Amino acid sequence: MSTLAKRIIMGLIGIPFMIWMVILGSPYFTVFFAIVAVLALRELYMLLSAKGFAPHPMIGMITGFVWMLLMDFAGEQSAFLLLLVLSLAGLSTLSLELVNSYEEKHAPPAGSVVSTLGAIVYVPVMLSNVIALRGFEVQGHLTPYFAQMNMEAGSALVILLFIGVWAGDTFAYFGGMAFGKRPLMSHISPKKTIEGAIIGFLGTILTMLAGTYFLMPTFPLWLMLIGSILLGLFAPIGDLVESMIKRDAHVKDSSELIPGHGGAFDRFDSMLFAAPIFYGFIKIVSMWM
């Protein structure tokens, strides 16, 4: 079976499942994304280990899993607890490096510390914006923007985020195959083209505007146009950053977890950049509009 056929089959299975998770909400949605974060983080640690950084995966994965759960379950105390979790991760990593310093052939401690803690910020911290977006509550002057809806505001926003990222990736893939001529960043990802990137960008905007019209009919389209432009710009950067890390480690996919798509890190690389950008946009709208 070709890679394209595998991608299509997994998409037909995965997309409905993801939307189902979004609609179910907490705790299913939260636990699912906590598992995704741990899997993606594990794959990133494998890439970093291949470069000789010697991170501490268990510290990172436990911290990442707890972080994702706290984003949903801690409520008003989440900021204090999240700060404590990150502090404990830093304390554990630095203390372990101090113990390991007695070993003469141990990897440089700076690389271990930076790779362990940096990966936590890169994957679970950035991805946790999806959970924060799912829990978004409409208040005050924003209420008319979310009227006439058949689902919770957080569900609609997360679905818009997902379809924006998925559409950008799909349009860029097929647009690049059909019209791609000029390489985008050949030293990082040889198959990506400028034409594909432009088509993907336009696909994100059009799909998110259409999704807003059907899911949130009273939300101003001109406002979502701004959000879709931001998403269309930053989601592909997440993809390119992950490609840069993989190329540096001399691997094609972060793992073979998902047929036709590679690993969890491969599948959610764009989401790592898109989620904080889109959630930040929605929060700014809620504060200033």
Q: What is the predicted pLDDT for the residue at 81?
A: 79
Q: What is the predicted pLDDT for the residue at 209?
A: 97
**Quick one: 33 exposed, middle or buried, by C-beta within 10 A (0-12, 13-18, 19+)?**
buried
User: Which amino acid is it at 112?
Assistant: S
User: Please, which residues have CB within 8 angstroms of residue 137's CB and are 6 or more apart in sequence?
Assistant: 153, 154
DSSP 192: E
Spatial contact of 139 and 146, defined as CB atoms under 8 Å apart: no
Strand partners, 189: 185
Per-residue pLDDT tens digits for 115-128: 999 999 999 999 99
Per-residue pLDDT tens digits for 207-224: 999 999 999 999 999 999
Q: What is the DSSP string of 226-283?
A: HHHHHHHHHHHHHHHHHHHHHHHHT-S-S-SSBTTTB-HHHHTHHHHHHHHHHHHHHH
pLDDT bin (cut points 50, 70, 90) of residue 186 is confident
State the average pLDDT over residues 168-181: 91
- Return the closest-CA partner of residue 157 out of 99, 231, 86: 231
State the average pLDDT over residues 170-179: 92
- pTM comes to 0.91
Q: What is the predicted pLDDT for the residue at 61?
A: 96
Per-residue pLDDT tens digits for 232-243: 999 999 999 999
Per-residue pLDDT tens digits for 59-117: 999 999 999 999 888 765 677 778 888 888 888 888 887 777 766 556 667 888 899 99
